[in-house]
Chains A and B, each alone.
Chain A
């Protein structure tokens, strides 16, 4: 197709002058791109939209068994309550007097030994919630008693009152998770390749298409009109990510599972430096009512292999950029102390959180161990509110206010982040 290309930067600039963001709350670097054309957007946004730090939140969906991942080998109840699924003490990695890591976490050992990975045990909600969905909502809303349906990551990204939809990116899923939901625009995408504008790909055709969409939507107010303007911005601002090679850096090798794909896309986004401060990815399902298995085979080994390989590849891929990336894992609740009749574990309460990367005082286990009891319904009790861990992360990395992100909560000191 040879429709003449009306493109040079000035012309593009004038052709986009009617394109204003309407009621969308944006400003700063993102708004600057409006004044310039497509060609400038890439450089000016990359220059102004730099994220000095990145938080990756990895949600282990389905409620993982923290006691299989970080094993309380010195608590005798652990072995008594789990005759067929306990992880043998002599197979544990980096044991201290109480804990050790599941052997399938071996790909992460170099992070642990370099002081870049820590575990906080017996974390969770202030009170038990055994429903996956309401627990996820409670964990991610992190604002008990409020009906506002605004998630903690939306409050975090909105802390400075302005934002581009690229500041918070959810890789996977259709609608924003509870953590991301709220008034701040966020990008929810299945992957990097889907952040594009359909239609013929020549520069002239793309310019014509954008102009046409702006004309068609020109007077449209409301949520979808805001979404359209946001979409056209996102396509512009995301251009550096498409331009960034999809080949991982530093010879990092990812597997083909969904978590590996999502973290690979995350690393590519971080390398492109488009201002993404928060990236969320999901991994699951960890809902193991049956067939937890052993360190040789079974569901926990399979999931843990995926988890460790993907995270190891992610940090390898990032290379020196890892100095600005902190990854935290979270799961909606933990599982019972005692195994059930099917080599599984039913819904419980307390759980482990991993914190890795920038700012982490790693190589140690954190949290107060409450001790286990061996009854059918016994839970691992929670001694550290999960929000205390997250508070240290957001204070240490973003200088954010815990009172703003976790309203009505007084964080207790965990000590897992530098400066805490």
Chain B
């Protein structure tokens, strides 16, 4: 019997005997007889500490040990610059994305091709439309489904959010998806606003059509759309007392921005917008222009002057919105928002001014601004500077893990549960309750609880536990590039697959600490790390700053 076991229980409680752990040279303490280290054996030079219990006999590696920093398939690695472009203008790196960039000839030509989404086949993402019927129904039909309880209003909006998330994961038109979300946040119509559900999916599809077009045309379409009218009360605005809600937010949020207009501007703005009505809470939810609701009479807003004599105010509205879209303050506001989304939280004034100038010089066309942004030195120097929002995180994690979501069957289907995954981290698409759209700065999404919640989602997906229904995850065996390899080779392979780069030394060390394995441990499919530690290995990479930033 070990001498340590021979002592009395009372002695074990009080023991002050000094000892040094045989395995952990840094460990010394004065509690020999109660310290758990007393059981440790000195490590043998060749064996990895601490040995997992089910580790199989160590087989010699099939191939000679390879320097983990020299990835054998390094031709399949992106450069830092192309990985940065992918992280900002897609919802996350995938090996397939790299193939696309290679096929396009260069990252720049891939980006250029992405700016013409109609030419990119996208059958998989197009099919999602049929998973949730209300995405393609008109307002009367959506209302009917709500009334008959086939799909309640909030369910329709949840389904719309799911549809957006799935498109972000699987669409081949990634730049279009990224820009659609950008504009849908800029011209934000909260999904939960009363009555909005009848027109909200249609509104999102409208913005998707304009997302790479011209801002002035998008602004006219968005502000006069029934979803916007319902959300910001323009659908109930009257000739006698124009509701100021939309007129104000149009100036404050959608165009020139706070501090650049007066209360008189707001009143004039509201008058111009009167006439766009919706028969809310009726069977038809008919949206129409009603000249008798339009407040005629001369208007003047920020230098836009119009007699506004015609009861049909649609022409003056279009002229007014087009004028605002071309306003230098609008250009600056859009330029800054783009820079904050795609460059950093603190873009330089020079970059903002440059993008604004490109915006105005190109008649508010969006593509030239994006090209200028991507070409800027500031963009290139900003790799990893942005935090992934909760929705970005969940989408990127699905992409990294290569999950295959199947058509929804019921509430437990993974493609339905994905919404609760994002909700558990604190955000679902377009649910932000205020008309200003969700914040896009790092600090808002960096709270302690956000991180803990992200880690929980990563771990449950890495372990293939939540959800299990109607989804296919890659098995641990499928992640192995060879039947037998060193642990550092396995980690490096996972890093190239999940993060698009060779594993940084820091992350390799983190994986060794998380699993208790040494770099040279031989891994086969019967090894503990494949059999029961794989979730902690994957989550170590997903919980890293490398995955949580973009």
Residues of A within 8 A of B (CB): 1-8, 10-11, 14, 131, 133, 137, 165, 173-176, 185-190, 194-200, 205, 208-209, 211-213, 215-220, 222-228, 230-231, 233-235
> B109 within 8 Å of A by Cβ?
no
Query: Contacts A5-B36, A174-B426, A209-B514: A194 and B442 contacting too (C-beta < 8 A)?
Result: no
Q: Are B451 and A199 in contact (CB under 8 A)?
A: no
What is the distance, in angstroms, from B33's C-beta to the closest C-beta of chain A? 12
A281 to B536, CA, bound (A): 34
> B7 within 8 Å of A by Cβ?
no
A10 to B536, CA, bound (A): 26
A220 to B547, CA, bound (A): 12
Residues of B within 8 A of A (CB): 21, 23-24, 26-29, 31, 34-37, 39-40, 50, 52-53, 245, 385, 387, 390, 423-427, 433-436, 439, 442-453, 455-456, 458-460, 506-507, 509-511, 513-516, 532, 536, 539-540, 543-545, 548-549
Q: Which residue of B lies closest to A209 (CB)?
A: B514
Other A-B pairs, 16, CB within 8 Å; known A133-B435, A174-B426, A222-B387: A1-B53, A2-B53, A10-B27, A14-B26, A174-B423, A174-B425, A175-B447, A190-B449, A194-B449, A208-B513, A208-B515, A216-B506, A224-B387, A224-B451, A227-B447, A234-B448
A207 to B110, CA, bound (A): 44
A175 to B435, CA, bound (A): 16
Q: Which residue of B lies closest to A181 (CB)?
A: B444
Query: Contacts A3-B50, A196-B452, A199-B536: A216 and B543 contacting too (C-beta < 8 A)?
Result: yes
Q: In the assembled complex, which residues on chain A have CB atoms less than 8 Å from the CB atom of B34?
A: 8
Per CB-CB distance, the 3 closest pairs between chain A and chain B, nearest first, are A174-B426, A223-B446, A212-B514
Q: Are B444 and A175 in contact (CB under 8 A)?
A: yes
What is the distance, in angstroms, from B348's C-beta to the closest C-beta of chain A? 18
Q: Are B506 and A219 in contact (CB under 8 A)?
A: yes
Query: Contacts A224-B545, A227-B447: A212 and B39 contacting too (C-beta < 8 A)?
Result: no
What is the distance, in angstroms, from B94's C-beta to the closest C-beta of chain A? 22
Q: Are B449 and A195 in contact (CB under 8 A)?
A: yes
What is the distance, in angstroms, from B357's C-beta to the closest C-beta of chain A? 26
Query: Contacts A3-B50, A6-B37, A213-B510: A198 and B548 contacting too (C-beta < 8 A)?
Result: no
A10 to B458, CA, bound (A): 31
Q: List 22 A-B contacts (CB under 8 A).
A: A1-B532, A3-B52, A3-B516, A4-B23, A4-B36, A8-B37, A10-B28, A174-B390, A176-B447, A187-B447, A189-B449, A197-B455, A208-B513, A208-B515, A211-B513, A212-B540, A222-B387, A223-B387, A224-B451, A224-B549, A227-B446, A227-B450
Q: In the assembled complex, which residues on chain A have CB atoms less than 8 Å from the CB atom of B427?
A: 174-175
A218 to B442, CA, bound (A): 19
What is the distance, in angstroms, from A216's C-beta to the closest C-beta of chain B? 4
Q: Are B451 and A228 in contact (CB under 8 A)?
A: yes
Query: Contacts A174-B425, A200-B536, A230-B448: A8 and B36 contacting too (C-beta < 8 A)?
Result: yes
What is the distance, in angstroms, from B179's C-beta to the closest C-beta of chain A? 24
Q: In the assembled complex, which residues on chain B have CB atoms less than 8 Å from the CB atom of A7?
A: 36
Residue in A173, A175, A188, A215 whose beta carbon sits within 8 Å of that of B509 in the complex: A215
Q: Which residue of B lies closest to A176 (CB)?
A: B447
Most B CB within 10 A of own CB, among A5, A7, A220: A220
Query: Contacts A216-B543, A218-B506: A235 and B513 contacting too (C-beta < 8 A)?
Result: no
A173 to B544, CA, bound (A): 24
Q: In the assembled complex, which residues on chain B have CB atoms less than 8 Å from the CB atom of A10?
A: 27-29
Q: In the assembled complex, which residues on chain B have CB atoms less than 8 Å from the CB atom of A218?
A: 506
Q: In the assembled complex, which residues on chain A have CB atoms less than 8 Å from the CB atom of B27?
A: 6, 8, 10-11, 14
Q: Are B510 and A215 in contact (CB under 8 A)?
A: yes
A4 to B450, CA, bound (A): 31
Q: Are A224 and B511 in contact (CB under 8 A)?
A: no
Q: In the assembled complex, which residues on chain B have CB atoms less than 8 Å from the CB atom of A226?
A: 446
Q: In the assembled complex, which residues on chain A have CB atoms less than 8 Å from the CB atom of B439?
A: 175
A10 to B29, CA, bound (A): 7
Q: Are B425 and A185 in contact (CB under 8 A)?
A: no
A176 to B453, CA, bound (A): 15
Q: Are B442 and A224 in contact (CB under 8 A)?
A: yes
